[in-house]
Amino acid sequence: MSTTATRTSNQITDILQKLGVHETNSGVSTGAKWSAGNGEQLISHSPVDGAEIGKVRGADRAEYDATIERAHEGFKEWRTWPAPKRGEVVRQLGEALRKHKADLGKLVSYEMGKSYQEGLGEVQEMIDICDFAVGLSRQLHGLTMHSERPEHRMYEQWHPMGVVAIITAFNFPVAVWNWNTALAWVCGNVCIWKPSDKTPLCSIACQHITQEVFKRNGVPEGVSCVVNGGREVGEWISNDSRISLVSATGSTRMGKAVSTAVGQRLGRSLLELGGNNAIIISDKADLDMSLIGAVFGAVGTCGQRCTSTRRLIIHDKVYDSFRDKLVKAYGQLRIGDPLDERNHVGPLIDEQAVTMYVNALASAKEQGATLLVEGGRLRGAGYESGCYVKPAIVEAKPNMPIVQEETFAPILYLLRYAGTVDEAIAIQNGVKQGLSSAIMTLDLREAERFLGATGSDCGIANVNIGTSGAEIGGAFGGEKETGGGRESGSDAWKTYMRRQTNTINYGSSLPLAQGIKFDL
């Protein structure tokens, strides 16, 4: 290990201790209590420098079952707390995250590989969703309806579901967990978190921060649980009828497996899966502004966001000029240690991701695409982990098989269109995924057409901003093979609750609905 890697690793050890993590052997917790961790051993290696950060033991089946039982016990009490009181606990968690933002952001950056600025941004998302959930805790409203029967009143109310399991991916190792928990907790549920086996230390840090707040407020054990482990833990969760809702973020392949297992037991799932996101660059676009959105969307988090820009659909009139701007901008990208804020691009998560990236570029060549910026693996000083690659730009055709796929890496496909915006929209919609989309145009008619019923078929459709990044407040999610789930803002809270319709008869007779007569 290099001197720089040793220094950084020691800094992360200090950060973990500041976050309350003094040992990382066990990755199984029902709250303040940590189990032995008798399951699979997970070794966290930083993609930044290849250093081993720590070893974490996951759960065996007995520990998993004990965690589920403890969560159910905690639910019995937690559901009786008034929602605003639950919201106050979440408010305090937001304050704790503000206190630990710099340290947790650095841990995210080092364990996952995204830039330090993006690590800070991820923690800010956690803070923002806590703020959102606090207000929501006083607005868990239901409708009132007029009854067709005299002296009757109808209304609906929402109740907590029970145990919510959250399966998260490596690329957002903390924010997506909190997107779910902040809402689930104020709704009265308890949560079990199965983190990515590539970023276990982030989960342990979050649990320590959370339990510091929960202990201060007398929150029962079992309201926040962590169950680290490999694929089998996800399978236990998916097949477990004791779990009311499974929220899973990851690949479409993984989502199909989760959906099948949960569906067979008639459970409920919330899926946030793959994205093959496109930006349409109209001939009426502001090209300078478009450049910023396209470059950040394509190379941010080294192309490992579900909202990363994979395709640029560029009008023929501006294709050459915009292509040249893009190639020049890629030549100015600085690739290296993401904790160095001068760098734009950090590493991919691991060797497997690098192999997928290399294979995708090879497939693009075989299918007749042209590599404008060839990309490739980076070696030598500063790239010791072996996970650093160059962002690539590829001229391609919309129907090429590789363009139809989502490669979780910084590969950007350039596609031409020559006709109206309808042609560009058809190209954009012509993939199996439907997460995020954008159009760059100063033409109001084009923008409105893109946002209309015959426009983008994605869950997110933007005008004059890129595909990557989302604010707390709007519901996040997509259609088709993206899974159809919605997290975060708007009325996504309803996903975490069960709806109940109530009818009250305050009269002295019992008339039946639809005028049915039944006399005794």
- Residues with a catalytic annotation lie at 272, 306
Neighbouring residues of 81: CB distance < 8 A, sequence distance ≥ 6:
188
Residue type, 244: S
**Do 465 and 348 touch, CB atoms closer than 8 A?**
no
Where do runs of H (alpha helix) occur along 218-286?
231-238, 252-264
What is the DSSP secondary structure assignment for residue 333, as one 8-state letter?
Answer: -
**Do 304 and 409 touch, CB atoms closer than 8 A?**
yes
**Do 275 and 308 touch, CB atoms closer than 8 A?**
yes
Compute how many other C-beta atoms are within 10 angstroms of the C-beta atom of residue 481.
22
Judging by beta carbons within 10 Å of its beta carbon (0-12, 13-18, 19+), is residue 38 exposed, middle or buried?
middle
Beta strand residue intervals within 152-295, DSSP E: 152-160, 163-167, 190-194, 224-227, 245-249, 268-272, 277-281
Distance CA 152, CA 141 (A): 20
Where do runs of H (alpha helix) occur along 430-516?
444-451
**Do 250 and 271 touch, CB atoms closer than 8 A?**
no
**Residue from 374, 415, 32 nearest 223 by CA:** 32
Distance CA 162, CA 184 (A): 9
Where do runs of H (alpha helix) occur along 3-60?
3-18
